[in-house]
Amino acid sequence: MQATHDTLVLTPPKPPGMLRALLLALVAHALLLAALTWGVHWKQTESPAVEAEIWSSVTQQAAPREAVVTPPTPVPPPPVPQPKVEPPPPPPPPVQQVAPPPPAPVVRDADIALEREKKKREQEKQRQQELLEQQQEKLREKQLQEKREQAQKAAADKKKLEQKARELEAQREAQAEADAKRKQADAAEAKKKAEAAQAQAQAQAQKAQQQKAAEAAMRAENLKRLQGMAGASGAADATGSALKSSGPSSSYAGRVSARVKPNIVFPDDIAGNPTADVEVRSSPDGTIISRRLVKSSGVKSWDDAVLKAIDKTETMPRDTDGRVPSPLIIGFSPKN
């Protein structure tokens, strides 16, 4: 189909008005023949020359007009009277033909190819331009979307930071309040402990004072007993002024020491010979009711060993008169 189209395009177009030109030529020839027919008669007359122009659809250079050769005039015979013949009417003037428009220029194959290539390039350029505009539009949309997302992210981050700051501030306030309450509680506890310690110290001081007074009184009582060991009704060597001895005998301390010493367990070596004074209270049958450290030796391990030995002894020995003195303060030393 393309080859046929190209062939039709490249074929020179038919001259326009060919049929009309042929008709005009035929009419002209018919008029010429009619004129010649009317002019043929027994008397030769000079035939007028008739010219006709035939227009071609293609512009051509007209050929030069041929010279008309006039034949020699024959000698006419004597005239014979003839009826008057009127001359034929002159032929109508030739119809003025309008020049057809110039034919369209023949388009060559190269021009067609160039035109097609040019059109193709223009279409490709337009397509590339449209593609570029689409890409630029997509890029603008993408940039706008990224800006919107960045703005949203920045707003969300700012909101998170503000929320975190509020939470931290609330935590700091709660921590400060808790610290203040803890300090108040600690201060109250310290005050309470100080008051308790002060009360305990006062109680201990009062107790120590009372114990010291009791020890002093007991020492005085024991001293009186020791001083009254010798009486009138006492032993033969008694030197007291009382009627009978009211305190332990002079040998009673040795008896108690002999009863308690075997129960003392004290493997440690200590410097010096410290004495621990212990008050022992007994029932009339000698059963030890209580014991109390009256004066410490300064060595706690020795004091504890003496108290444990008294607990282990359980009963006190009787004195020479059969009685068990109570209460009785006994001194214990590691080397005695």
Per-residue 3-state assignment (H helix, E strand, C coil) for the chain: CHHHHHHHHHCCCCCCCHHHHHHHHHHHHHHHHHHHHHHCCCCCCCCCCCCCCCCCCCCCCCCCCCCCCCCCCCCCCCCCCCCCCCCCCCCCCCCCCCCCCCCCCCCCHHHHHHHHHHHHHHHHHHHHHHHHHHHHHHHHHHHHHHHHHHHHHHHHHHHHHHHHHHHHHHHHHHHHHHHHHHHHHHHHHHHHHHHHHHHHHHHHHHHHHHHHHHHHHHHHHHHHHHHCCCECCCCCCCCCCECCCCCCCCCHHHHHHHHHHHHCCCCCCCCCCCCEEEEEEECCCCEEEEEEEEECCCCHHHHHHHHHHHHHHCECCCCCCCCCCCCEEEEECCCC
Q: In this predicted model, which residue has the larger pLDDT, 332 or 210?
A: 332
Q: Which amino acid is present at 312?
A: K
State the average pLDDT over residues 288-305: 90
User: 4 pLDDT band (50/70/90 cuts)?
Assistant: very low
Q: What CA–CA distances, in Å, run from 18 to 54, 58, 100, 101? A: 11, 11, 11, 13
Q: What is the mean pLDDT of residues 142-155?
A: 94
What is the residue type of 1?
A: M
Could you give the C-alpha distances from 221 to 76, 131, 213, 215, 266, in angstroms and in order?
226, 129, 12, 10, 31
How many residues does this entry show for the chain? 336
CB 299 within 8 A of CB 235: no
What's the mean per-residue pLDDT of the chain?
Answer: 76
> Once rounded to an integer, what is the mean pLDDT over residues 284-301?
89
Average the pLDDT over 31-58 and give the result.
Answer: 62
0.95 exceeded by pTM: no
With 70 as the cut, is the pLDDT of residue 76 above it? no
Q: In the predicted model, is pLDDT for residue 186 greater than 60?
A: yes
Q: Is the pLDDT of residue 302 over 50?
A: yes
Strand partners, 119: none
The better pLDDT of the pair 106, 129 is held by: 129
- Mean of pLDDT values over 151-171: 93
